[in-house]
Each structure stands twice: as C-alpha cells, then as structure tokens.
Structure 1
Amino acid sequence: MEIKQAKLYDAARKLFLEQGFKATNIAAIASKAGVAVGTFYNFYPSKSAIFIDIYNAENEQVKQSILSEVDLTGDPKKVVRKIVQEILKQSQANLILQEWFVNAALNRQISKTNKNAVTDSVVYATLMTLIDSWEKRKLLKVGMSKERIISLFNALTVIDFHQSEIQTDNYFQVLNDLIDGILLVILK
C-alpha cells in the first residue's frame, strides 16, 4: 500500500470508528490524511469502497481476537456465553461493525463486493468454528443442521439490537436464559 493510500485508510478508519459511515465524508477523510480530495480518488472510487476494505479488515481482526481468547473445547454454556457476549460487546463498541446490522444499503454493497461477507462475518465465522468443534465432539442432537443452529444464534443479534424494547433491569440474564434455551435445543 502506498504511503498516501495508507494515510487515507488510517484516517478513514479513525473517522468511521468515531462518527460512523453516514457522518463521514470524503473531504474529511482527505483532510485528516493530509491530502487533497482528488488524491482520494486515485486510490478509491468512493467512500463505500474504502469503507468495505476497512470493514473487512476490522471484521477479521475482531473475529481472530475472539477466537484466540476462547477455548472451544470448554463447557458449551460458558463458551457460547463468552463468544456471544464478546461479539455483542465488540460489535456495539465498533461503529464500523455496526454498519452490517444497521445500514441495509451498505450491507448489500459489502455482500456484493465480498462474496464471502456473510460467512466471513464475526458472528457467522465464530459460531461456525464453534459448531464444527461440537460436531467433531459429537455434541449435537441428531438432525440438527448448521443452518438451523446459526439461525437460532442470529436471533440473539436481532434481540440485542432491540434490547431497549425488552423491559427488564437484567438484560444479560435474559440473554443468558435464551442462550441456555438454544443450547438445550441443539446439544445432546
């Protein structure tokens, strides 16, 4: 990566993390990188293009971070709780990763540009690694497909984004109860 391109990338990443995709514009990226707006277009055709590069790198970094911290051979309840809490925590704290969930147009662009966007996503890739581990250890109930398991865990993401609508003072207990229920359905 050329020096100016690296400066643009770093500046865009910082701005996307601070303000999100919509609030960030090309002029601000170029200014923060110390280059002219025209220089931006020498390396990226659009704001979406640089964002997608940054999103993919951010996604991979978070995925590796989570997988490096979790012992997949541990007690399934503890492992899933740790993974789900880390995914939700890191996604909530990262405006770049949040775009996958809140910006449908950008989500489609990421998926169109990156054919493996879904399978490479933090949630999917981490859970598939865990499910593969359970499958090897013969912990899954007969007839339980990976697609069904992923759908059950994806429902937790939907619930998490609507947590303000769940009237409770103990949201994480509710989340843990849901995880326990999912594990009862999928594990022997």
Structure 2
Amino acid sequence: MDDKQQRLFTAARDLFLANGFKATSIADIAARANVAVGTFYNFYDAKSSIFLAVYNAENERVKRAILANVDLTADPATVLRTVIRQIFTQSADNLILQEWFQNPKLNRQIAQANQNAVADSVVYATLLTLIDRWQVQGLLAPTMTKARAVSLFNALTVVDFHQSEIQTDDYFQVLNDLITGILKVVLK
C-alpha cells in the first residue's frame, strides 16, 4: 500500500472508530492523513469505499482476537457464552462494526461489495466455526441444520441491540438463559 494510501486508511479507521461513518467527512480524513482532499480521490472514489476497506480490516482484526482468546474445544455452553460475550464486548463501542447493524445503506454496500459479507462478519464467522466443530464432533441435534443454528444464535444479536427495551435489572442473566435454551435445541 502506498504511504499516502496507508495514511488515509489509518486516518479513516481512527476517525470512523471515534466518530462513526456519518460524522466523518472526506476532508476530515484527508486532514488527519496530512494530504490534500484531491489525493483522497487518487485512491478511493467515495467515503463509502474507504469505509468498506476499513470495515473489512476491522472485522478481520476482531474475528482473530475473539478466536485467539477462546478455547473452541471446551464445553459448548462455555464456549458459546464466551464467544457471545466477546462479540458483544468487541462490538459494543466499535462504531465501525456497529454500522453493519445500524446503517442499512452501508450494510447493503458491504454486502454488495463482499459476496460473503454475512458469512465473513464477526458474528457469523465465529458462530460458523463453532457449529462446524460441533457438527464434526457429532454434538448437533439430529434435526438441527447449520442454517437453523446460525439463525437461532443470530437472534441473540437482535436481542442485544434491543436490550434497553427488555425490562430487567439482570440483562446478562436473561442473555445466559437464552443461550442455555438455544443450546438445548441445537445440541444433543
């Protein structure tokens, strides 16, 4: 990567993490990278283009961090709780990754640019790794499909994004109860 392109990428990542996509302008990125705005267009045709590159890199970084810190051979319930907690922790304050869930326009652009965007996302990639392991180990319930298992676990993400609507003083216990219930259906 050219030095100016690397500076633009780093500046964009820093600004998207701090301010989010909408509050970051091309002028902000160029100023932070110490290049002219015109230089930005030598490498990227739009703010969404650089965001896509940053999103993909951030997604990979977080995916590696989660998988590096989880013993995938441990008890499935423990592994899943740890992975879900890690996904929520890693994504909670990450304005780059939150765009996947909160910005439908960017979500579509990410999906169009990356044919495997859903499968490559932090949530799906991690869950698919777990489900594949469980399938190889013969731990999945006989009628459980991979797609159905992913859908059940994906529902946890939806619940998490609406946690403020759940009237409880112990949200993480509710989340653990949901995980326990899902595991009873998914595993033998």
Q: TM-score, normalised by structure 2?
A: 0.99
The aligned counterpart of 2:183 is 183
Identity of aligned residues (%): 66
Residues in 2 aligned to 1:113 and 1:133: alpha-carbon distance in whole angstroms: 29
Residues in 2 aligned to 1:137 and 1:182: alpha-carbon distance in whole angstroms: 18
- Offset of residue 43 of structure 1: 0.4
- Offset of residue 72 of structure 1: 1.0
The aligned counterpart of 1:107 is 107
Residues in 2 aligned to 1:167 and 1:176: alpha-carbon distance in whole angstroms: 16
How far does the alpha carbon of each residue in 1:88-135 deviate from its partner, in whole angstroms, 9 at most, with x for none? 111112100000000000000000011111110000010000001101
- Offset of residue 28 of structure 1: 0.4
How far does the alpha carbon of each residue in 1:23-68 deviate from its partner, in whole angstroms, 9 at most, with x for none? 0000000001101100000000000000000000100111111111
Q: Residues 19-30 of structure 1: matches in 2 within 5 Å?
A: 19-30=19-30
Matched, 1:68 2:68: yes
AA matched with 1:121: S
The aligned counterpart of 2:33 is 33
The aligned counterpart of 1:133 is 133
- Structure 2 unaligned runs (5+)? none
What SS does the corresponding residue of 2:39 show, helix, strand or coil?
helix
AA matched with 1:155: A
- Structure 1 unaligned runs (5+)? none
How far does the alpha carbon of each residue in 1:134-171 deviate from its partner, in whole angstroms, 9 at most, with x for none? 01110011020000000001100000000000011110
Q: Residues 46-65 of structure 1: matches in 2 within 5 Å?
A: 46-65=46-65
What SS does the corresponding residue of 1:139 show, helix, strand or coil?
coil
What SS does the corresponding residue of 2:72 show, helix, strand or coil?
coil
Task: Say what the alpha-carbon RMSD is for the aligned residues.
Answer: 0.5
The aligned counterpart of 2:161 is 161
Residues in 2 aligned to 1:13 and 1:171: alpha-carbon distance in whole angstroms: 31
Residues in 1 aligned to 2:125 and 2:6: alpha-carbon distance in whole angstroms: 27
AA matched with 1:127: L
Residues in 1 aligned to 2:19 and 2:178: alpha-carbon distance in whole angstroms: 32
Runs of 4+ in 1 over 4 A off after TM superposition: none
